[in-house]
Structure 1
Amino acid sequence: MAVTEKFQGWLGLDKESVKGNMKWGEFEPKKWAEDDVDIEISHCGICGSDLHTLSSGWVETPYPCVVGHEIIGTAVRVGKNVKHVKVGDRVGVGCQARSCKQADCFECSSGRENFCPRPDNVNTYGGIYPNSEGKSYGGYATHNRTNGHFVFKIPESVPSELAAPMMCAGVTMYSPLKRNGCGPGKTVGIVGVGGLGHFGILFAKALGADKVVALSRKADKRADALELGADLYIATDEDEDWAAKNVRSLDLIISTISSPKMPLHLYMTMLKVGGSFMQVGVPDGGLLPTINAFPLVLNNIKVGGSFIGAPGEVEEMLQLAAEKNIKPWVQIRPMNEANAAIVDMEAGKARYRYVLKA
């Protein structure tokens, strides 16, 4: 374990970095505070958000940027105000590095820190801290510095390479499933079988859903989805009359697809009266298909979205993963192959999450 102020990582210097052009180099972490934890990184998952950020696909990225918010490693320096973590603990960091945590902030005081509206809400990478504290840098690196409230001890039974993608992809699916009543007696649809979607299948089954339906464009992921635990697989480009055959069959749909061309109208016809459609995938530009009002009103559908997960939900998810022996499908790539790995990720080759290992 090494304490150092000289952090190093894969720096995205411009929009071309997403094409495998990140450069290894030093960067300066945020100013140290006694609420912080320094982590020597052992593993970091690769998320689609990393690619959107490297390319400035959502908003203009404050280059240089080190991406990666599925971080696992060892705590090597712990601020005196942090009580739940000690030096030497195996810990994880997800998408969020800080929030205001003030009693007069409804979001923070109600356990929904991920929706904190104040400038103190800083993402794990590509964020600017207030009061000239510096920038946030992510996990394609040797070390990470994050506020202790967003640093989580990892259960002993969960291997680091499996815990890493849970820090973003896992909780991004766990949160809307749990908050929308996934459990015994419920039927759940997961749109998209990828890094997010395969977690949706795993956690929907772990939460006790009676039936889980996986939907993807092509049939090539059918065997994978069924092995993951799906009860039914629908290939929307290939299965004939798939929507008509499944009208009003689902209580909840979680959509991971970030495409403005997805058949949103047909998905909504699959919801039971009073069902919910939750969107977690965000395309470049943010635009989704137009919502057809007829299934919305005739089926009394609720449409919403969900964003990452709050610290309390991360803790719950990790305990559920330990209890149910949740095993996401990961492929380990050496940290020095990060450029090749993001190119392969963009090409859709991951089955279903790449994890960089130091």
Structure 2
Amino acid sequence: MTYPDTFKGIAVTDHANWKNVSQLDYLPKHFDDHDIDIRVLACGVCGSDIHCASGHWGEIPKPLVVGHEIIGIVVKTGPRCDSGLKVEDRVGVGAQALSCLDCDRCTHDNEPYCPNRVSTYAKSYRDGYVSQGGYADYVRVHEHFAVLIPESIPSHLAAPLMCGGLTVFSPLLRNGCGPGKKVGILGIGGIGHMGVLLAKAMGAEVYAISRTSSKKADAVKLGTDHFIATKEEPDWHEKYFDTLDLLVICAGSLTDVDFDTLPKIMTVGGRVVSIAIPEQHEILKLKPFGLVGVSIANSLLGSMKELKELLELVAKNNIKIWVETIPIGEKGVNEAFTRMEKGDVRYRFTLVDYDKAF
């Protein structure tokens, strides 16, 4: 199969006007021995896309093609590829495109924590090339960071698993979510709704936590066993005192999270794990006494081993995340960005119809 030397993408050209994107051509990174090229079929819209496009995480070189929940078809493999992936395989790529693969973290399935990690977009390779993402006709990544997608999972449902799903699955898996455990998911949104589905499939008793009861009906449909509306139940921390073994914070911002009260609903030895990476100006404040008997941590993405386990869990349990599809293109990306900024999504967007746009 032949394809152009340049890729086409829907790019942000100005942080101040980030929702008005433009289609343009750009050069891909140098093709290395372990790289693969992927023709994109679908790409999820992640909250990180909004933060990077808008400049919430600082100035990023432009033009910028975001998107790191990529599903596509392998069209080329490097001469030294040995992962077993081959041309015509349907694969997924998440938020990481490279790491050193040699350090202790990488060799122990902690690639996201490698100091030489390169994100799928907006990060520089050693040669200075700034990575570009999946709002494009093709992407080029190291073979290690692509995973075979089970046939039973449709591309539009597989896409949000590559980052959002993995990001919540990793802390669930690493902190013992399973039968006999009481697990809370705080923030029932794009990632939080996946957290409820996954924690339930892993066998835990699930507590969905939100500020109001506006999402209670959705949470029940997702399978939660309990629902806590913190703004409507003044005594929630007393009612659920000493209850949770694990709490994963899936809120986009930590400003409204009461870390002085939240630990009260944790058991001794319980763990509060946040997956939030909010805007740069946010600062976490809490009183040390609130941490007595409880650990608070932050989790980043997930390993490739965990991504494979996630896909096995989803396929085995026929888990259906809640996704709305939007055709890729300048108009489609503008719509997705505009609605995401307003919170008008239940609960993930996937960009599709790539064959019609490029």
TM-score by length of 2: 0.95
CA gap of 1:208–1:2, structure 2 versus 1, over 3 A, is farther
Note if 1:182 corresponds to 2:174: no
- Distance in 2 (alpha carbons) for counterparts of 1:316 and 1:62: 34
Segment drifting more, 278-287 vs 149-158: 278-287
Unpaired runs of at least 5, structure 2: none
1:329 aligned partner: 322
CA contact (8 A) 1:261 1:288 kept: no
Q: Deviations over 1:149-176 (max 9, x none)?
A: 0011101111111100000000001000
CA contact (8 A) 2:68 2:120 kept: yes
> Within 5 Å, which residues of 2 pair with 1:227-306?
227-257=221-251, 258-285=253-280, 287-297=282-292, 300-306=293-299
Amino acid at match of 1:63: K
CA contact (8 A) 1:58 1:286 kept: no
2:155 aligned partner: 160
Segment drifting more, 80-89 vs 301-310: 80-89
Amino acid at match of 1:356: L
Amino acid at match of 1:310: S
Note if 1:352 corresponds to 2:352: no
Unpaired runs of at least 5, structure 1: none
1:88 aligned partner: 88
CA contact (8 A) 2:179 2:203 kept: yes
Q: Look up the SS of the partner of 1:185 in the other structure.
A: coil
CA gap of 1:320–1:17, structure 2 versus 1, over 3 A, is farther
CA contact (8 A) 1:261 1:289 kept: no
Q: Deviations over 1:179-211 (max 9, x none)?
A: 0011111000000001110111011111111x1
Segment drifting more, 24-33 vs 254-263: 254-263
Deviation for aligned residue 1:2: 5.1
1:10 aligned partner: 10
2:59 aligned partner: 60
CA contact (8 A) 2:259 2:290 kept: no
1:113 aligned partner: 111
- Distance in 2 (alpha carbons) for counterparts of 1:213 and 1:302: 19
Amino acid at match of 1:56: G
> Within 5 Å, which residues of 2 pair with 1:179-218?
179-209=174-204, 211-218=205-212
- Distance in 1 (alpha carbons) for counterparts of 2:284 and 2:111: 29
- Distance in 2 (alpha carbons) for counterparts of 1:26 and 1:314: 31
CA contact (8 A) 1:29 1:135 kept: no
Segment drifting more, 288-297 vs 150-159: 288-297
Q: Look up the SS of the partner of 2:162 in the other structure.
A: helix
- Distance in 2 (alpha carbons) for counterparts of 1:279 and 1:123: 20
- Distance in 1 (alpha carbons) for counterparts of 2:26 and 2:322: 32
- Distance in 2 (alpha carbons) for counterparts of 1:24 and 1:239: 48
Q: Look up the SS of the partner of 2:10 in the other structure.
A: strand
- Distance in 2 (alpha carbons) for counterparts of 1:202 and 1:29: 37
Amino acid at match of 2:98: R
Deviation for aligned residue 1:16: 2.4
Q: Look up the SS of the partner of 2:309 in the other structure.
A: helix
- Distance in 2 (alpha carbons) for counterparts of 1:319 and 1:286: 38
Q: Look up the SS of the partner of 1:26 in the other structure.
A: strand
Equivalent pairs: percent with the same residue?
A: 44
1:44 aligned partner: 43
1:170 aligned partner: 165
Q: Look up the SS of the partner of 2:344 in the other structure.
A: coil
Deviation for aligned residue 1:286: 5.8
- Distance in 1 (alpha carbons) for counterparts of 2:169 and 2:20: 33
Deviation for aligned residue 1:288: 4.3
Deviation for aligned residue 1:240: 3.6
Amino acid at match of 2:78: G
- Distance in 2 (alpha carbons) for counterparts of 1:231 and 1:30: 47
How many aligned residue pairs are there? 349
- Distance in 2 (alpha carbons) for counterparts of 1:80 and 1:328: 37
Amino acid at match of 1:107: R
- Distance in 1 (alpha carbons) for counterparts of 2:91 and 2:108: 24
Q: Which runs of 4+ in 1 moved over 4 A?
A: none
- Distance in 1 (alpha carbons) for counterparts of 2:17 and 2:307: 30
Deviation for aligned residue 1:46: 0.3
TM-score by length of 1: 0.95
Deviation for aligned residue 1:34: 2.0
CA gap of 1:288–1:264, structure 2 versus 1, over 3 A, is farther
- Distance in 1 (alpha carbons) for counterparts of 2:154 and 2:290: 43
Amino acid at match of 1:49: S
Deviation for aligned residue 1:15: 0.9
1:70 aligned partner: 69
Tell me the C-alpha RMSD between the 2 structures.
1.3
Amino acid at match of 1:28: L
- Distance in 2 (alpha carbons) for counterparts of 1:262 and 1:131: 41
Note if 1:123 corresponds to 2:119: yes
